[in-house]
Amino acid sequence: MNMHDRDLGDIAVLHYGDGDYAVMKPGRYVLCAVTGVKIPLQALRYWSPVLQEAYAGPREATQRWMETQGNKAGA
């Protein structure tokens, strides 16, 4: 898959695994679950396999973790 392929849609659908992801529907980018910013697939480094969400960076990933799991960390 090449980002210059003409048949690619804009937004990709991915299945997020522990160390990689599988492309279910080809596209150029995914959306950050926290900010809504477009993340080009070649720049995607942060995601949650549990929540099946992508994040623009470590700050967004940490924010989402705190929202969903942070209260469990102290228990």
In a domain, 15, yes or no: yes
In a domain, 2, yes or no: no
In a domain, 32, yes or no: yes
- pLDDT tens figures, 29-53: 999 999 999 999 999 999 999 999 9
Q: Is residue 33 within 8 Å of 53, Cβ to Cβ?
A: yes
In a domain, 65, yes or no: yes
> Could you tell me which of 55, 43, 52, 42 has the C-alpha nearest to residue 18?
52
Q: Is residue 55 within 8 Å of 46, Cβ to Cβ?
A: yes
In a domain, 43, yes or no: yes
Full domain range(s) for residue 14: 9-73
In a domain, 1, yes or no: no
DSSP state of 15: E
Instruction: Give the pLDDT score at 22.
Output: 98
Instruction: Give the pLDDT score at 70.
Output: 72
Mean pLDDT of the chain: 89
In a domain, 4, yes or no: no
In a domain, 58, yes or no: yes
Q: How many domains in the chain? A: 1
Residues paired with 32 in a beta bridge = 54
- Rounded to two decimals, what is the model's pTM? 0.81
**CA–CA dist 75, 62 (Å, integer):** 18
